[in-house]
Structure 1
């Protein structure tokens, strides 16, 4: 599915209700910033760990925050927190389905800084499994969350503000990927980032600062922001008319 479209739907009863459930997908994470790749484990003693975000080129990530949580019940509070300093997402030559240019932000954890693609570093290290990351905007609103192996107590007390029920498109939905192994592979997001429960994330050779092996430029799908939504009823039907802000007339 390509981003940006206009549609008119004539719906009855249940169909209108179904559409009302689908519509929130388009408003999800208006920044279009997502976790895209995570390597919480390697074969060199956690010396090459990193976190990668993907976002539209030109997005200002200054003030956004990444918190790492240990999902074990005896570990409470974020094990590290990183607030992104001044950073504008570059155009890295990757595109969405409607040709919106995308770029990457790569954070080296546990002091990893030797890779050219790394933009910033932090001393904290990630747990191998039963752990996760939560992404906050500059106003401290959750906009994405990913865990690997199991959700652990991220969904109950630590932080307890993410969920694994309801629509996977929700800002605070915790996508749970497969577990990691003792390798240099990384967890990698698919083309459809905003409505995935984690089951479509891959675990393969790391690609920091570039497109994932699970992705194809021109097919990456991010949420669409509605610029128009109208509903008109009459004669036992409802006419829905909507357009996206990215649509080109």
Structure 2
């Protein structure tokens, strides 16, 4: 289990609060969004990046906590150049903002650094506080502060992953712990088990939920240690009739010394024929070793049916000797929509500044998508965090015949200025967390394509289950994106791969044969022209 030394008291500098003219955290927060403020004295809680998208550190005073936010390519140098360490006593300036109800200062600058003083005290909280629906005025003074919760247990097992929210519970009440991204120091460490776990971190708010951004997690671990992902189930989402979807289950030994033996892995009940393979041969994993198994869901020809199967297997993990692992899938009530339009390419995560984010749609030439909605969906709580209406900037949009009877529409994010072939630019950036999604609908709300990325198992969103998902994450290379590849004329004909970006163009390894309808149309026109060339001769 990785540990970090968070709170080191180097020295103590006695500074009377009444010698400062800057505002307290509570006073600054009350000024509202987009207001320049000067705050202090505040004491730095941590310089660990807890921001997920961007880079965030935290400071606090007696009246509340505050998130200091900046781009990932600026904040590390900002921390070093201003000699920022936990316990630093600071006067700060910046601009107020609120992201998903969390109070933060952006464009932050250090007005004064009085050196290391008192490291902020850790406030004990209980599970009921963490489970409170946000925003709660009574908890405003606790937001952004260092807290500790004890005597909890994790619902999940295995090792921590970035961009994922974990569930802790105590006395039948659940709370959330968020590992923001793959760079978090806890990623890869074993998730403790048992009911004697202590978590120290920042008490944060996201939308309607409170969560802890952990700095230190202490608790017992097992050896060997079964880790399964996804957990506690594998959900294939919605699959069109007569198509299939393949997803993977990862099994890992998170222990340090002993082999993990897995035996008797087979389906024991349910729609066994719909999920293959039905069994897996016994195997053994050395410490830190892992393996992947592919499972394919085949709904058949009948639509609007939910299928399920229960797998069971035995392990030598002393806390998981018999494991039940369910799988679910649903067949779509309708075939793929016509005329065919789908999400063909998504770039949602760039290194440093997100200046090349975009969504590309592909559609049959001649299809008018004016008024269609492009919705960005949050994988944390399943809600819609932004919606764009096609034609907002340019009035209308009809797919032109750019290749084999298909055309492309490119929608760039608000901070993207370098995306070739952009048709319109939305007033939002894209989130890059686990299970975030993009959804397109017609003006009347009819769903056309609902795609979840960085999603190992489908979750239930505000709009229901997605009809497309991939466990792949957008590469942090600026030149790459998630792309549809393969040959076909409908969305489910293609698979997702990480490829070079091609906004407004066909993807690498993608073939778009001319749709049958387009071919018939062109043939009809040619025949009509030929008929018009017939001459009548008199004898």
Q: TM-score range by the shorter chain?
A: 0.5 to 0.7
1:182 aligns with 2:476: yes
Q: 1:195-245, CA deviations, whole angstroms, 9 ceiling, x for partnerless residues?
A: 25x8x2110110000000120243x7x7x78xxxxxxxxxxxxxxxxxx98
Match in the other structure for 1:36? 344
Q: 1:149-179, CA deviations, whole angstroms, 9 ceiling, x for partnerless residues?
A: 1167x732x324224xxxxxxxxx1332412
1:89 aligns with 2:395: no
Give the C-alpha shift of residue 38 in structure 1: 0.4
Separation in 1, partners of 2:406, 2:380: 35
**Cα distance change of structure 1 residues 89 and 19 upon mapping to structure 2, 3 Å threshold:** same
Q: Secondary structure at the match of 1:195?
A: helix
**Cα distance change of structure 1 residues 60 and 72 upon mapping to structure 2, 3 Å threshold:** same
TM-score by length of 1: 0.65
TM-score by length of 2: 0.32
Give the C-alpha shift of residue 116 in structure 1: 4.1
Match in the other structure for 1:63? 371
1:112 aligns with 2:438: no
Unaligned runs of 5+ in 1: 1-17, 96-100, 164-172, 226-243
Q: Write 1 or 2 for the structure with the bigger share of strand.
A: 2
Q: Is the 8 A contact 1:37 1:53 kept in 2?
A: yes
Unaligned runs of 5+ in 2: 1-298, 304-331, 525-539
**Cα distance change of structure 1 residues 103 and 195 upon mapping to structure 2, 3 Å threshold:** same
1:123 aligns with 2:427: yes
Give the C-alpha shift of residue 65 in structure 1: 0.4
Q: Is the 8 A contact 1:202 1:214 kept in 2?
A: no
Match in the other structure for 1:237? none
Match in the other structure for 2:496? 201
Q: Is the 8 A contact 1:69 1:132 kept in 2?
A: yes
Q: Which has the larger radius of gyration?
A: 2
Q: Secondary structure at the match of 1:43?
A: coil
**Cα distance change of structure 1 residues 140 and 49 upon mapping to structure 2, 3 Å threshold:** same
Match in the other structure for 2:142? none
Q: Report the RMSD for the aligned CA atoms in angstroms.
A: 3.2
**Greater RCO structure (CA 8 Å; 6+ sep):** 1
Greater shift, 59-68 or 108-117, is seen at: 108-117
Q: 1:35-87, CA deviations, whole angstroms, 9 ceiling, x for partnerless residues?
A: 000000112421110000000111101011011111013xx521211010111
Count, aligned residues:
189
**Cα distance change of structure 1 residues 110 and 177 upon mapping to structure 2, 3 Å threshold:** farther
Separation in 2, partners of 1:80, 1:127: 10
